[in-house]
Amino acid sequence: MRRKICIYQPNVFPPLHYFNRIMNSDAWVMLDDVQINKKVGQTRLLLKVNGLEHTVTIPVLGGNRMKINEAAIPYSQWVAKFNKTLDIAYGKSPFYDTLQSVIIEYTELHQRLNTDFRRFCEQFTLSMLRRLGWQGEVVSSEGLAEDKKASERMAEISFRLNGTHYVCGNEGFRQYLNLDHFRNRNLAVMVQQWSCPEYPQSGGSFLQNLSIIDLVANVGIEGARERLVSRGTDGWDMYE
Flag whether pLDDT at 171 surpasses 90: no
- Find the range with the poorest average confidence among 50-64, 92-106, 108-122, 159-173: 50-64
Phi, psi (deg, nearest 5) at residue 124:
-65, -50
* pLDDT, position 186: 98
* pLDDT, position 37: 78
Q: Find, among 174, 141, 173, 170, the residue nearest to 158 by Cα.
A: 141
pLDDT, the chain, mean: 94
Q: Find, among 177, 169, 200, 216, the residue nearest to 40 by Cα.
A: 169
pLDDT tens for each residue of 18-64? 999 999 999 999 999 998 876 668 999 999 999 999 999 999 987 77
Q: Which residues contact 135 (CB under 8 A, 6 or more apart)?
A: none
* Distance from C-alpha of 199 to C-alpha of 18, rounded to nearest angstrom: 17
* pLDDT, position 65: 79
Collapsing DSSP to helix, strand or coil, 206 comes out as coil
Please, which pLDDT band fits residue 81 given cuts at 50, 70 and 90?
A: very high
Mean pLDDT on 163-182: 94
* pLDDT, position 231: 85
Please, which pLDDT band fits residue 230 given cuts at 50, 70 and 90?
A: confident
Please write down the long-range contacts of 55-58, taking CB distance under 8 Å and 24 or more positions apart.
56/82, 56/85, 58/12
Q: What is the pTM of this model?
A: 0.95
Mean pLDDT on 80-99: 96
Name the DSSP letter for residue 101: I
User: Domain total for the chain?
Assistant: 1
Query: The domain containing residue 190 runs over which residues?
Result: 4-239
Flag whether pLDDT at 221 surpasses 90: yes
